[in-house]
Structure 1
Amino acid sequence: MYSVLPILRMVSKPLFGFVADRFRLQKTLFLVFQTIVMMCFFFIQFIPEIPKTTHISLDCDALTYIKKCNGGPVDDNMFGKLKAEGAITCQTVCVVDNAQFMGEMCAQWRTPQFCDPVIHLDPNTSLDVNFQSFLLMEHSVQVKNCLFFRVNKVVFDDSTEHTPYCSNLTSIPCTVHCSSMLVNDIIADAALGSSMLALPQFWALLVVLSVSMIAIASVTSVGDAICFSILGDKRNRYGYQRMWGAVGWGLMAIIAGLLVDAVSGLQVEKNYSPIFYMSAIFLLFDMLASGQLKYSQPAPSGSIVHDVKKLLIEPRIIVLLVWCVCVGLSSGFIRQFLFWHLEDLSSEVDQRWMKTLEGLLVGVQCFGGELPFFFLSGYILKKLGHVHAMSLVLLGYGIRFLLYASLSNPWWFLPVEMLQGITYGIFYSTMVSYASVVAPRGAETTVQGLVTAVHEGVGMSLGNLLGGVLYESYGGGQAFFIYSIMSIAIFFVHVFAQIYLKSPNLKVTENDYTAHYAAPKDAISIGQEMEEIH
């Protein structure tokens, strides 16, 4: 799903960017797509839950196990997490449909309610037996495609405890719902198997997310173009504007995490309803604020397609786009798998506060990382230039992934998120400011859409796909280590490529605009120079 969605962003950003530039509809599309985002996000909560089957068998012998076989084996990392769950309880409902098992329950379990001779004489009799199973997860066993969870004791509705022992191996079908979210996920997900694509809920979610993804992509690219248009010759102040997005993102993530945990209480499954109403309310405020924007959209200077096409033959622009793809590989992996990795590392205590931790994580990313670096982005770019800023982003990802691979306590991930300032704050400011500098007059939205589309549609899509394969094959720690090696290798390749292409200024002149690639000292001042050229 998250390999396909970025491709939609890749197509929609330049497409609607072109429409906004060609027909001068930036503000109209900005408001329309915000409305679509609000509606899509709010209605996600009404998609029915995917039916989860939790059918298992209760194998009763000298030792009794809950057995789950369909769905394939779990990896070593996940199996280690299962065994570390300790003692858990499972609400168990079994269909007792054979006299042998009824006899075992009567004689060995010492449950007199199953000693009625009438029950044993009628071969068509079946009983639904409801009890609590107490599992000792450290005794769990995996044999090929089957998982065995050791049952230590059972407790019936009358609060009587029994040892589940049978003189001969006997099995009955059951369904369970356990106090461990991890065990429930393993049992339920294994039951879905390859039938996921046949479920209408999957396709309903994919359609809603696809529409919202197209709308979000258009909002961000058009919004950046509007921002640079309002800033005029003060393009270096873009970071001051963008940091307020980090404030909203971080603040709401912290509040949302706390709300979800508070509303969910001790429930095994989290209640996410607060975030749907929060998103609707704040997106409505967003639309009201956007409607008050006043600015003048410049008219195209010539053929937008022709101007952008000439821009794309610039060697340094090609390097810029490749850099956007490489950064997208890394950012896509973090977005989709960092929280997953955290939950794999968490203990049962951590799980109760997991959404709060994840909210705090985003809060540190924003307030400790993005906000200060967006604020300082103009100064940093003026000192470093776009070239060195690009290299810094790649190195930052390499260090960040290496730390993810090394840590085992999820709470220690909080200080690591300070690196978000380099890997996202500096990256995003570099990407959009340079796109604004090189864009032909009247094609600002088209170029903004192009660079971000390459980053998200190609880079993040590949990152999601590759990350999924690596995570499935090696687990979170090894996957992040592999990404660390990749990022550092790409960093050195980028440095050598820039040395090869090094020149004080590389220019291609066509019609009435000049595309510049800034040396370090000129990275920001070019914005004012471009205004003079226009």
Structure 2
Amino acid sequence: MKVNRKLLPIKLHYFLFMAALGPILPQLPLLGKDIGISAIVMGTVTGILPFTFLLTKPFFGLLIDVYRQWRKPIFLFLIFVMTLSFCGIYFVPSRETAKFEFDFIDYTFWNACSKTVFPVVCNSSCLPKSLVLMASVKNEQSLYQLCLTPETHFLANLSKCSFVCVEDPDNGLYSSFTFWSFIIFMSVGTIGFNVVNSISDAICFDIVEDQSSYGNQRLWGSIGFGFAGLISGYIIDMFSKTSANYVPAFVIMTLFSILDLFVCAKFIELPVMEAPKNIFNDLKVLLTNVHVVTFITFTVLAGMLDGLIIYFLFWYLEDLAIETGTTQVKLIEGLTLAAETIGAEALFFLISGKILQRLGHVHTFTMCFMSYALRLALISAAPSPWWFLPIEFFMQGPTFALTYTAIVAYANELAPPGMSATMQGIASGMGDGAGYAVGSVVGGLFYRYLGGKATFQTFTWVTLFCGIMHFILHASVLKRKRNAIRPDYEEID
């Protein structure tokens, strides 16, 4: 078999770039969880972030096009900033929490407390549930005592009870340097990743002669992501003791990023990307067509499902591990990443073109929603984290990989002559931007108030409804409408 040497650099870039992200990207919500950020706050933050992609992607695309002589330095600079930002998360200071034990006599009434008080969460065998109380420092030896308010005076009547209290982790967290430094590093790194990823796809389409071979190049990114995630998960578990040690993940990310910078600087030639012309007029033409509006709507819904899985799959995995007493959690997460990317995802990137030719874009897109519904249902029914491995191995392909390819191909078919780039930009921005935002925010709210299992069950029914509605709309309303956006337009089967 003859190797196309021209395509080796882009394959290597995809592998190294995604390998750098494999150890870090899926762990971001868990890193936030470890410093005390709640699911609803993390969901809100990760829900706001995708809206920035709608601005940063076209901005840097135009910047590279206008300053053509600086396009490679700009591209390399973005990779460097992304790496530096994710590395910065490692240096975010942790917040120490006070944990203390005392008997019922170690209390005083509110009017006798010191002026410095702070909330604590207390548990006792004498109480049916945890209570949020107030505590103060008793003396110079940092001994603590409870400060009983009128609402908690009943505790004074408890005898022979022992309490275990921990300083409330939310106390001052969201105004602390720890929280804001983590959010800034995570945000800049995530934005950098998405911009670089978008530019990488543009480079790939410019380099390949046959655009249908895009999947053959992109699958190397999946292999790199899964390979590095697997290695990282195993090493983290090996070095971790009472809590997760993320040092290996940051080291692996840095090494792969340095190698990627070298490959991009030495071997890859960046394309000249044309700035869109009459973009507002083009958008008006596109967004008044019912087929385009329907496509964009369901693209957002597909992005919502990816957002839920990306931000909360591992969160649910770790909660399920606690419930079932499962150990080696980071190894399971690494194996899950490998199962996703090296398994069916790589296969479906290869065969997605044949599936689209056989079923058509509309029916393929409907099948994607049905596959997502099955995937979410299986996740919610998993009795232990180890079941995530076969689920993700088989379902990542017919969901993420096939959906990604279907959206790109569908957008290309819907676009009139000369507007393919505009249509692709809209599809990518709405899916990765608005879709991820909805999935993150709504997923965070559901997770906070319903729990992980119920969240994935609820999204299962929502996804099933979306698939049915997509099929019905194209079999009825859209089948009768012929308001094409170009003279030679025919309904996409």
TM-score in terms of structure 1 length: 0.69
* Consecutive unaligned residues in structure 1, runs of 5 or more: 62-67, 74-78, 83-94, 98-123, 130-143, 149-167, 176-186, 521-534
Secondary structure in structure 1 of the residue aligned to 2:360: helix
Q: Deviations over 1:390-413 (max 9, x none)?
A: 111111111111112222221112
Residue 282 of structure 1: CA displacement? 0.7
Please state which structure has a larger fraction of its residues in helix. Answer: 2
CA distance in 1, matches of 2:316, 2:187: 25
Residue 251 of structure 1: CA displacement? 0.3
Q: Deviations over 1:23-75 (max 9, x none)?
A: 557655432211211111122111111333334544589xxxxxx984599xx
Residue 192 of structure 1: CA displacement? 2.1
Tell me if structure 2 keeps the 8 A contact 1:299–1:442: no
Q: Identify if the C-alpha distance between structure 1 residues 212 and 438 changes in structure 2 by more than 3 Å, giving closer, same or farther.
A: farther
Name 1:199's counterpart in structure 2. 176
Q: Find the partner of 1:423 among 379, 388, 399.
A: 399
Name 1:490's counterpart in structure 2. 466
> CA RMSD for the aligned pairs?
3.8
CA distance in 1, matches of 2:305, 2:140: 59
Residue 439 of structure 1: CA displacement? 5.9
Q: Identify if the C-alpha distance between structure 1 residues 37 and 196 changes in structure 2 by more than 3 Å, giving closer, same or farther.
A: same
Q: Find the partner of 1:54 among 99, 102, 105.
A: 99
CA distance in 2, matches of 1:72, 1:461: 36
Name 2:256's counterpart in structure 1. 282
Please state which structure has a larger fraction of its residues in strand. Answer: 1
Greater alpha carbon shift after TM alignment, 454-463 vs 307-316? 307-316
Name 1:367's counterpart in structure 2. 342
CA distance in 1, matches of 2:159, 2:406: 67
Secondary structure in structure 2 of the residue aligned to 1:519: coil
CA distance in 2, matches of 1:195, 1:35: 33
Greater alpha carbon shift after TM alignment, 421-430 vs 287-296? 287-296
Tell me if structure 1 keeps the 8 A contact 2:122–2:163: no
Q: Identify if the C-alpha distance between structure 1 residues 221 and 493 changes in structure 2 by more than 3 Å, giving closer, same or farther.
A: same
Letter in 1 for 2:185: V
Q: Find the partner of 1:216 among 193, 203, 213.
A: 193
Tell me if structure 1 keeps the 8 A contact 2:81–2:192: yes
Residue 250 of structure 1: CA displacement? 0.4
CA distance in 2, matches of 1:15, 1:336: 26
Letter in 2 for 1:391: T
Q: Find the partner of 2:245 among 257, 271, 281.
A: 271
CA distance in 2, matches of 1:413, 1:281: 29
Letter in 2 for 1:195: G
Residue 5 of structure 1: CA displacement? 1.7
Residue 195 of structure 1: CA displacement? 2.4
Tell me if structure 1 keeps the 8 A contact 2:345–2:400: yes
Equivalent residues in 2 for 1:24-423, closer than 5 Å: 27-55=72-100, 57-59=102-104, 70=120, 169=159, 187=166, 191-193=168-170, 195-232=172-209, 234-264=210-240, 267-291=241-265, 292-294=267-269, 296-297=271-272, 299=274, 302-347=277-322, 351-417=326-392, 418-423=394-399
Count residues with an aligned counterpart: 417
Q: Identify if the C-alpha distance between structure 1 residues 126 and 259 changes in structure 2 by more than 3 Å, giving closer, same or farther.
A: closer
Secondary structure in structure 1 of the residue aligned to 2:47: coil
CA distance in 2, matches of 1:399, 1:298: 39
Residue 311 of structure 1: CA displacement? 2.8
Structure of higher CA gyration radius: 1
Name 1:433's counterpart in structure 2. 409
Secondary structure in structure 1 of the residue aligned to 2:306: helix
Q: Deviations over 1:398-448 (max 9, x none)?
A: 111111222222111211112011110011112233445566788766554
CA distance in 1, matches of 2:402, 2:67: 32
Residue 277 of structure 1: CA displacement? 1.5
Letter in 1 for 2:253: S
Secondary structure in structure 2 of the residue aligned to 1:210: helix
Q: Find the partner of 2:485 among 508, 513, 526.
A: 508
CA distance in 2, matches of 1:23, 1:434: 32
Tell me if structure 1 keeps the 8 A contact 2:379–2:388: yes
Name 1:5's counterpart in structure 2. 49
Name 2:58's counterpart in structure 1. 14
Name 2:426's counterpart in structure 1. 450
Tell me if structure 2 keeps the 8 A contact 1:373–1:426: yes
TM-score in terms of structure 2 length: 0.74
Q: Identify if the C-alpha distance between structure 1 residues 317 and 231 changes in structure 2 by more than 3 Å, giving closer, same or farther.
A: farther
Tell me if structure 2 keeps the 8 A contact 1:304–1:443: no
Q: Identify if the C-alpha distance between structure 1 residues 5 and 222 changes in structure 2 by more than 3 Å, giving closer, same or farther.
A: same
CA distance in 1, matches of 2:322, 2:137: 35
CA distance in 2, matches of 1:244, 1:337: 25
